[in-house]
A and B are shown apart, each in its own frame.
Chain A
């Protein structure tokens, strides 16, 4: 086994000291409270922003965000960085929890009103962003731009609107099978544009 551990220097750990979400999540997995705090500081506006987008109601968004971070704390020991990045995993948890909350709490009628009152534009981030975030932003925006208008509409309603495919079909007045096809074709195209490999 390799031996050069005893000097205990953090400088051996990584050229970029543990500041990225991936590094922090790995430390959270080891029970590191301080890393959890730092991970929260680094990501909470992103997570809360996504949850807010889906839930609108700030109090519910806050509750769901709290649940998301507790789940992150609990399950971080099982996170495997080889299988994807930390932020994507956190977004996946947050989206699913927010959508579950929508479905369990809000009546369908309220939801339709809520979504109807909102435009279908791809959300545009108006706040100042770090350059890295901005590049990522442009990349995803460009990828969404590759979809047909019908595909994009369905994907946007599902992801940003939190609507189920049946709800989307009802809203657009098209058969469920059509929505499924658009979602699938749209996601395939998006996957390709974003370079996600299987």
Chain B
């Protein structure tokens, strides 16, 4: 999250040093070392300049699409595979990817849940220093990190909050599963889709259900907050509902906090999403009145 001083800092900075004139060149790696240092000092103090640089960096990276692929020498792969065995990985930023490492067999990359929770609420930029950084990484890493490792915001807020909460709080979550890392990737893809729509409704019996849907992705995700715990005998079940009826989109449990899941099946605009309470294991068709229905 950006500091409260960003606005003031930024104004002063723009007046003293035209960093914004250098950002395009910086993203193209067309600055000399002194200019690079000056730009990076300015970036450290201005969220606006960082955002602008991020956009330039992503733009520049797309230029690589035009360079013809060339197969590297065949032995490079074997050398790399041998090298990584002796190359430790950095610890993840807790706010972004601690969940991914819970399945890891790399002890260095593991974090305690306490650390993850604590860091998740702190400025993501603070956690960036890699303790076991190898010799040669530096500027390249710093630049790429700016967008991919440090940047706060840019997500649909509700989805981001859900991911960060879960990543911070859940330990032992792996790649598969409805809240696994794979699902988190999908969720952020849905939330970041240009056509993502977010709708929040209160649920009967307490709590809120938010639907984030993307027609272009053909997927939707529900974020449930404060739904009562149903115990072992019952479960919440999701439904895609259209003129043809209701189709099950998976089940989930809640325990009063926040939880989310990507709906099974494909989302098409105009479909309604409903949540019912069903016997444990779910039902092929709804057996109770929905606690919430969200039209799209």
Hey, which bits of chain A sit against chain B, CB under 8 A?
1-5, 8-10, 12-14, 18, 22-23, 26-27, 29-33, 36-37, 40-41, 44-50, 52-53, 58, 62, 65-67, 69-71, 73-84, 87-89, 91-97, 99-100, 122-127, 133, 136-137, 139-141, 143-144, 155, 158-160, 162-166, 168, 179-180, 183-184, 186-188, 190-191, 194-198
Contact = CB atoms under 8 A, between A and B. Distances in A.
A76 B92 CA distance: 8
B157 to A, nearest CB: 12
Contacts, number: 332
A93 B22 CA distance: 19
B31 interface: yes
Given A30-B101, A74-B137, A123-B67, 6 more contacts: A5-B174, A33-B85, A49-B69, A83-B154, A159-B28, A197-B55
B23 interface: yes
A195 to B, nearest CB: 8
B29 A162 contact: yes
A115 B90 CA distance: 37
Interface in B122-154: 128, 130, 133-134, 136-137, 139-141, 143-145, 147-149, 151, 154
A44 B151 contact: no
A83 B253 CA distance: 29
Q: For the side of the interface on B, what is the size category?
A: 35 or more
Interface of B: 21-25, 27-32, 51-52, 54-73, 76-77, 79-81, 83-85, 87-93, 96-97, 100-106, 109, 128, 130, 133-134, 136-137, 139-141, 143-145, 147-149, 151, 154-155, 160, 163, 170, 173-183, 185-186, 188-189, 191-192, 194, 250-253, 255, 259-261
A133 B100 CA distance: 28
B24 A4 contact: no
Nearest to B132: A74
B158 to A, nearest CB: 13
A13 B141 contact: no
A190 B55 CA distance: 10
A17 B151 CA distance: 28
9 contacts: A5-B180, A26-B185, A29-B89, A30-B100, A31-B101, A36-B84, A71-B137, A75-B141, A179-B25
A4 B178 contact: yes
Contacts of A69: 80
Contacts of A197: 55, 194
A88 to B, nearest CB: 4
A76 B89 contact: yes
